Structure 1
Amino acid sequence: MTQAECFHCGEPVLTGSQFTTHIDNCDRLMCCPGCQAVSAAIIEAGLSNYYKYRTEPGSKQTALVPEELSAFSAFDLPEVQQDFVHNESEISRVSLSIDGITCAACAWLIEHKLKHVPGICAIQVNTTTERALVSWLPEQIKLSDILGQISQIGYQAAPYQVDEQEIQSKQNSRKFLLRLGLAGFATMQVMMFALALYAGYFTELEVQYRDYFRWVSMIFAAPVVFYSAQPFYFSAIRSMFSGRLNMDVSVSIAILGAYIASCIATVNATGEVYFESVSMFTFFLLLGRYFEQNARQKASVSSSNLHKLVPLTAHLITGNDCEEVPAKGLKVGDIILVKPGEVVAADGIIIDGSSSFNESMLTGEQVPVIKLDSSEVYAGTINIEQPVRVRISAVGQDQLVAEIIRLQESASNNKPKVALYVDTISNYFTWAILTIALLTYIVWNLYWPEDAFWVTLAVLVATCPCALALATPTAVTCATGIFTRIGVIARKPGVFEKLTQIKHVVFDKTGTLTCGTLTVSEVEVYGHLKKDEALAVAAALETGSLHPIAKAFEPYNRGLFDVIEPQSVVGAGLTGLIDGTQYKIGSAEFVKAKDCGTQAVFLAQGDELLARFTLIDAIRPDAKEAVATLTAQGCTVSVASGDASNHVDEVAERIGIKNIYKGLKPNDKLSLVQKFQQIEGTAMFGDGINDAPVLAGANLSVAMGSGSAITKNSADLILLGDHLSRFNDAVTVAKMTEKIIKQNLYWALGYNLFIIPLAVTGHVAPYIAALGMSASSLIVVGNSLRLLRVRL
Structure 2
Amino acid sequence: MVRCDHCGLPVPAALQNLAGAHQFCCGGCEVAFETIRGCGLENYYAVRDRVATERHSAKGAGKPYAAYDTDAFLSRHTTVTDGGYQAINFRLEGVHCAACVWLVERLPSITGGVVDARLSLGNSRARIVWDPEQTTLSAIATTLDRLGYAPHPARDASAHQARNRTERSRLTNMAIAGALAGNNMLIAVALYAGAFEGIEPQFAQLFRWLSLLIGCLSLAWPGRTFFRSAWTACRSGAASLDQPIALALGIGALAGSVNVVLKRGEIYFDSLSVLVFLLLVGRFLQSRQQRWAEEAVGLTLSMTPDTCRVLREGSLCEESTESLVVGDEVEVRPGELLPADGTVTAGQSSVDQGLLTGESRPLRIGEGTAVFAGSQNLSATLRVTVNAVGDATRVGKLIRLVEDGLADKPPIVRFADQVGGVFVVVVALLAAANLAWWSITTDLGGAIESTVALLIVACPCALGLATPLTMAVAIGRGSRRGILIKSAAVLEKLASVDTSRPGTAFLDKTGTLTNGRHRVEAYFGRTDLKAWIAVVESQSIHPIGKALLSAFGPIEPTDALLVRERVEQHGYGVLGVTPDGDLLVGSPRFANERGAFVDREMSDAIRRGGERGHTVVVAALNQRVVTVIWLSDELQPDAKAHLDRLRRDGWNAEILSGDSRDAVQAVAARLGFGSAAIDSMAPEQKLAKVRAAVAAGGASVMMVGDGINDAAALAAADVGVAVHGGAEASLAAADVYLTEPGIGKLVDLVELARSTMRVTRRNLVISLGYNTIAVVLAAAGWITPLAAALLMPLSSLTVLTSAVVFESGNREPLQPPRREA
**TM-score of the aligned structures, taking structure 2 as reference length:** 0.67
Cα shift at 1:773? 1.4
Tell me what 2:779 maps to: 760
Pair 1:468 & 2:463 matched: yes
Tell me what 1:123 maps to: none
Pair 1:403 & 2:397 matched: yes
Cα shift at 1:321? 11
Choose which of 80, 85, 97 in structure 2 pairs with 1:23.
Answer: 80
Tell me what 2:746 maps to: 727
Cα shift at 1:485? 1.6
In 2, Cα distance between equivalents of 1:373 and 1:710: 21
- 1:489-511, Cα deviation, whole Å (9 max, x unpaired): 22245311222315332222233
In 2, Cα distance between equivalents of 1:510 and 1:277: 64
Pair 1:663 & 2:664 matched: no
Tell me what 2:529 maps to: 530
Matches within 5 A, 1:96-245: 162-198=156-192, 199-200=194-195, 205=200, 211-245=205-239
In 2, Cα distance between equivalents of 1:760 and 1:713: 53
- 1:710-766, Cα deviation, whole Å (9 max, x unpaired): 655512222111131111111111111111111101100111111111111222222
Cα shift at 1:610? 5.3
Tell me what 1:455 maps to: 450
Tell me what 2:93 maps to: none
Tell me what 2:503 maps to: 503
In 1, Cα distance between equivalents of 2:622 and 2:199: 122
Cα shift at 1:310? 3.6
Matched position secondary structure for 1:509: coil
In 2, Cα distance between equivalents of 1:693 and 1:402: 22
Matched position secondary structure for 2:381: strand
Contact 1:316 1:337 in 2 (8 A): no
- Shift of the 505–764 alpha-carbon distance from structure 1 to 2, 3 Å rule, reads same
In 2, Cα distance between equivalents of 1:261 and 1:219: 14
In 2, Cα distance between equivalents of 1:631 and 1:705: 22
Tell me what 2:802 maps to: 783
**TM-score of the aligned structures, taking structure 1 as reference length:** 0.69
- Shift of the 458–630 alpha-carbon distance from structure 1 to 2, 3 Å rule, reads same
Cα shift at 1:248? 0.7
In 2, Cα distance between equivalents of 1:413 and 1:163: 21
In 2, Cα distance between equivalents of 1:567 and 1:687: 25
In 2, Cα distance between equivalents of 1:368 and 1:664: 30
- Shift of the 346–612 alpha-carbon distance from structure 1 to 2, 3 Å rule, reads same
Contact 1:315 1:338 in 2 (8 A): no
In 2, Cα distance between equivalents of 1:510 and 1:170: 46
Q: Amino acid of the residue matched to residue 480 of structure 1?
A: I
Pair 1:690 & 2:709 matched: yes
Matched position secondary structure for 1:505: strand
Choose which of 359, 362, 365 in structure 2 pairs with 1:370.
Answer: 362
Q: Amino acid of the residue matched to residue 465 of structure 1?
A: P
- Shift of the 248–584 alpha-carbon distance from structure 1 to 2, 3 Å rule, reads closer
Pair 1:489 & 2:489 matched: no
Cα shift at 1:463? 0.9
Cα shift at 1:223? 1.8
- Shift of the 456–255 alpha-carbon distance from structure 1 to 2, 3 Å rule, reads same
- Shift of the 300–465 alpha-carbon distance from structure 1 to 2, 3 Å rule, reads farther
Q: Amino acid of the residue matched to residue 510 of structure 1?
A: T
In 2, Cα distance between equivalents of 1:216 and 1:538: 88
- Shift of the 538–247 alpha-carbon distance from structure 1 to 2, 3 Å rule, reads closer
Tell me what 1:480 maps to: 475
What is the aligned-residue identity percentage?
Answer: 27
Matched position secondary structure for 1:657: coil
In 2, Cα distance between equivalents of 1:675 and 1:324: 55
- 1:174-215, Cα deviation, whole Å (9 max, x unpaired): 2223222322333343444444344248977466x6554443
Matched position secondary structure for 2:465: helix
Choose which of 723, 729, 735 in structure 2 pairs with 1:716.
Answer: 735
Contact 1:292 1:778 in 2 (8 A): no
Identify unmatched segments of 5+ residues in structure 1: 1-6, 11-20, 29-42, 51-159
In 2, Cα distance between equivalents of 1:628 and 1:716: 23
- Shift of the 602–438 alpha-carbon distance from structure 1 to 2, 3 Å rule, reads same
Cα shift at 1:459? 0.7
Mean alpha-carbon deviation: is it higher for 392-401 or for 599-608?
599-608
Contact 2:724 2:739 in 1 (8 A): yes
Contact 1:525 1:531 in 2 (8 A): no
Q: Amino acid of the residue matched to residue 607 of structure 2?
A: C
Matched position secondary structure for 1:415: coil
Cα shift at 1:467? 0.8
Contact 2:293 2:477 in 1 (8 A): no
Cα shift at 1:308? 3.1
Tell me what 1:64 maps to: none
Tell me what 1:150 maps to: none
Pair 1:561 & 2:564 matched: yes
CA RMSD of aligned residues (A): 4.5
Contact 1:315 1:337 in 2 (8 A): no
Cα shift at 1:424? 0.6
Q: Amino acid of the residue matched to residue 621 of structure 1?
A: P
Choose which of 657, 667, 672 in structure 2 pairs with 1:651.
Answer: 667
- Shift of the 414–509 alpha-carbon distance from structure 1 to 2, 3 Å rule, reads same
In 2, Cα distance between equivalents of 1:328 and 1:358: 21
- Shift of the 578–238 alpha-carbon distance from structure 1 to 2, 3 Å rule, reads farther
- Shift of the 439–223 alpha-carbon distance from structure 1 to 2, 3 Å rule, reads same
In 1, Cα distance between equivalents of 2:546 and 2:290: 48
- 1:190-247, Cα deviation, whole Å (9 max, x unpaired): 444444344248977466x655444333332232121111111121122223322122
Q: Amino acid of the residue matched to residue 596 of structure 1?
A: R
Choose which of 301, 323, 330 in structure 2 pairs with 1:334.
Answer: 330
- Shift of the 287–608 alpha-carbon distance from structure 1 to 2, 3 Å rule, reads closer
- Shift of the 201–733 alpha-carbon distance from structure 1 to 2, 3 Å rule, reads closer
In 2, Cα distance between equivalents of 1:624 and 1:723: 11
Matched position secondary structure for 2:511: helix
Identify unmatched segments of 5+ residues in structure 2: 1-69, 91-153, 813-821
In 2, Cα distance between equivalents of 1:295 and 1:400: 27
Q: Amino acid of the residue matched to residue 253 of structure 2?
A: Y
Tell me what 2:653 maps to: 637
Pair 1:420 & 2:399 matched: no
Pair 1:431 & 2:447 matched: no
In 1, Cα distance between equivalents of 2:650 and 2:689: 20
Tell me what 1:281 maps to: 275
Contact 2:573 2:587 in 1 (8 A): yes
Contact 1:508 1:639 in 2 (8 A): yes
